[in-house]
Structure 1
Amino acid sequence: MRITRILTVLFAFVLLFNISCSSDNESFEISPITYQDGYFISNEGNYTSYGANVMFLTRDLSLKQDNIYAYNNNNEILGDVLQAVGLNGNRAYLVMNNSNKIVVVDRYTFKKLGTITDQINNPRGITFANGFIYVANTNFSTNVNSVTKYKISDLSFVKKIDFTEVADKIVEAGGNVFVQNASSGYGNKITYINTATDNKTEITIPNGQIGRTVSYNSDVYTISSTTTDSYIYKVSSTGVLTPVITLTGIPNATNLQIDNGKFYFSSANKVYTTSVSTPAVPSSPLLTATDGGPYLTLYGFTVVDGRIFASDVKQFKANSGMTVYSANTGGVLKVIENTGGIGANGTYVNP
């Protein structure tokens, strides 16, 4: 396992290995590796390659460690297609799409704690509510779609909720669960699951096709678009739909994110922002990112901590690069030439 510094080396001694000294006997003790106060960057890997892995990046953007799952688990292969990462309590849940499993690790040591496989069928997203895990599953080959529910306490299977349409992004708001019934820019519905009963209600988005759905301050927001305009909607924690803004003249918007009271979204390789409380149509983009081609531009796009993490997946032919921008100015904060894997698709803060 190669440990690197973005500019030089010495990652382990500078951050990961906390060394304490006893004044009585002058002995030194090296504490276990910890991944607190940084970011996990998920590398999807090429389909059927079993090349999925996770890179760790320190909060100050100065140090990185590649493939931390293998490093901390005796070089075990993580699996095929890392779709998403869920963080809850002291655990990280690694959603392995083509391996049909959720790998559970300690989020601070990345040691494996367990695996969920029961009723998992090409999982695409994960969220947590009221002591339970909810996983969205869509098998495009068999057209079988579901949300499966498990206990957080022991990872045991509880129930399966069948869907007739795709179950993709899944988020929690106000103790309830919302499932995006859209994928790759196709679909215009969100399903609200009342977690008290696990009954579901379908919500139709009036305009365009859904790009991405997120949770923020106990509400759900989704962005939809046509080839001429785009739209942001809010869904309350009880499933009430409210229009937020029509983004006139901005086509095919997707990648909705919310950070520090601002919306962020992309159209092609341009990134825009506007206020959540007083939204207005942006007159110009905040920044212009690398154009990676159809379906691959800004393949990994996350806004967190006042920073925009935008990946260049290089047509899935080489390890991804990542550019970190200021979410306020759009200025470049750091360019990471190599994320240590193929298909960087998400960034997750681990405070």
Structure 2
Amino acid sequence: MRITRILTVLFAFVLLFNISCSSDNESYEISPITYQDGYFISNEGNFKSNGANVTFLTRDLSLQQDNIYAYNNNNEILGDVLQAIGLNENKAYLVMNNSNKIVVVDRYTFKKLGTITDQINNPRGITFANGFIYVANTNFSTNVNSVTKYKISDLSFVKKIDFTEVADKIVEAGGNVFVQNASSGYGNKITYINTATDNKTEITIPNGQIGRTVSYNSDVYTISGTTANSYIYKISSTGTLTPVVTLTGIPNGTNLQIDNGKFYFSSGNKIYTTSIAAPVVPANPLLTVADNGPSYYVLYGFTVVDGRIFASDVKKFEGNSEMTVYSASTGGKIRSFITGGLGANGTYVNP
């Protein structure tokens, strides 16, 4: 029996029944299994296929359940293109790009709680600040870009903040919001939104094109690259830009992640790491993955969390993705598995 099937049977048995048994004054109770203490893997699905779904993996990497949204919601179809997952308090927010909606579920049972559709237009990212939800929207067909704001309490629409450039990755730092005005390696600006007023300030990254922007310890970090070098910058929670390190000789840096006081990033099919406190140019990559080009498919899903690197091979969207987990300290392979869908684009820890 496949390990994925084992977990499905366990969930079917335990979620449906809270079993209490007794015999000769002895009793025991099996509590319902939840999705706590594991990872959500977002499977994007093919464009216009309504094939998006979420895979759950236990924290010890031993058990896996696929398509958990349909499983817990009467086989309801999640939608078209799962772009990202946002976690806040007891909820998970599933950003459905081509379905123009945010599906809200309980992050421990994955039961559907609600849907946001008002002013949603091809959403690409989500973050949370001061009791509000901020969603980055970019419709490449109509060139309409915005950040839309909602109340966390009731999911009601508050306002729309228009952009002239792409609104892609979006993160919170120190109570403020930062929007990456770059996508797929094109663009060199980040917009700082002061959430007290929702006024915005544009920040230009001096060198190259932005690869990825992340939040860490109330600051924002971004990586940019040229065909010769890459650069990491820090932005304070109030919008002050500071260079961190020039990665000489490492071209087109992207996929920036931060874990346990270290930067992780990629260049082509090579993964590098360096310290945040004392960054240097890595002499060698931590590891090199298979180059299953074209280039935009290489490391399509890349996350570093819990001292582990999760790197996906999306098989050119011709079959379900293969996710490989590596040690973030040694680069050694821990295990590989096939996810429950196409285009695995992110891994999210659910502690």
Asked if these proteins are the same fold (TM beyond 0.5), I'd say: yes
Q: CA deviation at 1:16?
A: 8.6
Matching of residue 90 in structure 1 with residue 87 in structure 2: no
Which residue of 1 is the match for residue 319 of structure 2? Answer: 318
| Greater Cα shift, 17-26 or 127-136 | 17-26
- Report the Cα distance in structure 1 between the residues aligned to 2:83 and 2:346, rounded to whole angstroms: 9
Q: CA deviation at 1:318?
A: 0.3
User: Could you tell me the TM-score, scaled by structure 2's length?
Assistant: 0.95
Which residue of 2 is the match for residue 9 of structure 1? Answer: 6
What's the secondary structure of 2:316's corresponding residue? helix
Which residue of 1 is the match for residue 264 of structure 2? Answer: 264
Question: What whole-Å deviation, never above 9, does each CA across 1:10-62 have from its counterpart, x for those lacking one?
Answer: 56549993866556766665543400000000000000000000000000001
Distance 1:243-1:318 versus aligned 2 partners, 3 A rule: same
- Report the Cα distance in structure 2 between the residues aligned to 1:121 and 1:276, rounded to whole angstroms: 36
Question: What whole-Å deviation, never above 9, does each CA across 1:248-277 have from its counterpart, x for those lacking one?
Answer: 000011000000000000000000000001
* 2:39–2:347 Cα contact (<8 Å) kept: yes
Distance 1:242-1:51 versus aligned 2 partners, 3 A rule: same
- Report the Cα distance in structure 2 between the residues aligned to 1:15 and 1:245, rounded to whole angstroms: 50
Question: What whole-Å deviation, never above 9, does each CA across 1:268-314 have from its counterpart, x for those lacking one?
Answer: 00000000010000000000112121201000000000000000000
* 2:7–2:64 Cα contact (<8 Å) kept: no
The letter of the residue matching 1:316 is F
Structure 2, gaps ≥5 residues long = none
Distance 1:295-1:30 versus aligned 2 partners, 3 A rule: same
Moved over 2 A (4+): 8-33
What's the secondary structure of 2:296's corresponding residue? coil
Which residue of 2 is the match for residue 245 of structure 1? Answer: 245
User: Could you tell me the TM-score, scaled by structure 1's length?
Assistant: 0.95
Question: What whole-Å deviation, never above 9, does each CA across 1:161-180 have from its counterpart, x for those lacking one?
Answer: 00000000000000000000
* 1:171–1:179 Cα contact (<8 Å) kept: yes
Distance 1:244-1:154 versus aligned 2 partners, 3 A rule: same
Question: What whole-Å deviation, never above 9, does each CA across 1:171-206 have from its counterpart, x for those lacking one?
Answer: 000000000000000000000000000000000000
Counterparts of 1:326-345 in structure 2, within 5 Å, are 326-336=327-337, 338-345=338-345
Q: CA deviation at 1:5?
A: 1.2
Q: CA deviation at 1:223?
A: 0.1
Q: CA deviation at 1:142?
A: 0.2
Matching of residue 279 in structure 1 with residue 279 in structure 2: yes
* 1:16–1:35 Cα contact (<8 Å) kept: no
Distance 1:272-1:262 versus aligned 2 partners, 3 A rule: same
The letter of the residue matching 1:100 is N
Distance 1:70-1:14 versus aligned 2 partners, 3 A rule: closer
* 1:4–1:65 Cα contact (<8 Å) kept: no
What's the secondary structure of 2:232's corresponding residue? strand
Structure 1, gaps ≥5 residues long = none
Distance 1:20-1:10 versus aligned 2 partners, 3 A rule: farther
Matching of residue 181 in structure 1 with residue 181 in structure 2: yes
The letter of the residue matching 2:150 is Y
* 1:11–1:63 Cα contact (<8 Å) kept: no
Which residue of 2 is the match for residue 78 of structure 1? Answer: 78
Distance 1:207-1:109 versus aligned 2 partners, 3 A rule: same
- Report the Cα distance in structure 1 between the residues aligned to 2:215 and 2:12, rounded to whole angstroms: 32
Report how many residues are paired: 347
* 2:100–2:121 Cα contact (<8 Å) kept: yes
Which residue of 2 is the match for residue 224 of structure 1? Answer: 224
Which residue of 1 is the match for residue 305 of structure 2? Answer: 304
Q: CA deviation at 1:9?
A: 2.7
Which residue of 2 is the match for residue 150 of structure 1? Answer: 150
Matching of residue 99 in structure 1 with residue 99 in structure 2: yes
Matching of residue 57 in structure 1 with residue 57 in structure 2: yes
* 1:55–1:340 Cα contact (<8 Å) kept: yes
- Report the Cα distance in structure 2 between the residues aligned to 1:212 and 1:246, rounded to whole angstroms: 16
- Report the Cα distance in structure 1 between the residues aligned to 2:228 and 2:141, rounded to whole angstroms: 32
**Among the aligned pairs, what percent are the same residue?**
84
- Report the Cα distance in structure 2 between the residues aligned to 1:90 and 1:184, rounded to whole angstroms: 31
What's the secondary structure of 1:212's corresponding residue? strand
- Report the Cα distance in structure 1 between the residues aligned to 2:264 and 2:184, rounded to whole angstroms: 18
Which residue of 1 is the match for residue 139 of structure 2? Answer: 139
- Report the Cα distance in structure 1 between the residues aligned to 2:254 and 2:112, rounded to whole angstroms: 34
